[in-house]
């Protein structure tokens, strides 16, 4: 999978991903969403619908505070049973609470596009994303 970084790039990703436990700001990655949009994510996108209409958008708060081990940060989101059946083409991270995340809210931090994960039965699926980053010289 290839991740496309939006907004301020890797520095924002590294800082915001771990902010829940290391900093006092309220803006850190708290929500993950999935959708069936074929729109590619670009570096200037700030919302899920920046590149066009979004279909089958489903957002959910992360299961817990992201865990950090050295330079690796792990995020988990569970899409529960009863959420519907569709093809998941994009996985997005948002730096706001699930209650404030919509397809047009400017909460998009980064995302992965071009996937074809079929959710064709009424089951629970958990997404685990691990970010590994390092500081430059």
pLDDT tens per residue, range 118-132: 877 767 777 777 777
The closest of 77, 80, 81 to 92, measured between CA atoms, is 77
- Strand order across the beta sheet in which 3-5 lies: 3-5, 108-112, 90-94, 31-35, 58-61
Q: 3-class DSSP state for residue 41? A: coil
Write down the number of H helices and E strands in the chain. Answer: 1, 10
List beta partners, residue 78.
126
Confidence at residue 111, expressed as pLDDT on a 0 to 100 scale: 86
Kind plus residue range of the DSSP H or E element containing 77: strand 72-79
Tokens 């059946």, residue? 85
How does DSSP classify residue 114? Answer: S
pTM: 0.73
String of DSSP letters for 35-94 = E---PPP-TT--STTTTS---S-EEEE-SSSPEEETTEEEEEEEE-TTS--EEE-EEEEE
Per the model's pLDDT, the better-predicted residue between 81 and 31 turns out to be 31
Average model confidence (pLDDT) across the chain = 76
- The answer on pLDDT for 67 being more than 80 is no
């Amino acid at each position: 999978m290839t991740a496309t970084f939006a907004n301020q790039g890797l520095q924002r990703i590294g800082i915001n991903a771990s902010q829940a436990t290391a900093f006092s700001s309220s803006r850190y990655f708290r929500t993950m969403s999935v959708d069936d949009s074929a729109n590619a994510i670009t570096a200037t996108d700030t919302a899920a619908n920046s590149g066009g209409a979004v279909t089958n958008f489903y957002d959910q708060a992360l299961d817990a505070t992201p865990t950090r081990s050295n330079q690796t940060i792990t995020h988990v989101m569970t899409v529960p049973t009863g959420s519907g059946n569709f093809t998941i083409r994009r996985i997005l991270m948002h730096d706001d609470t699930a209650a404030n995340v919509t397809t047009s809210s400017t909460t998009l931090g980064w995302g992965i596009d071009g996937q074809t994960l079929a959710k064709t039965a009424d089951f629970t699926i958990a997404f685990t994303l691990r970010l590994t980053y390092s500081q430059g010289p």
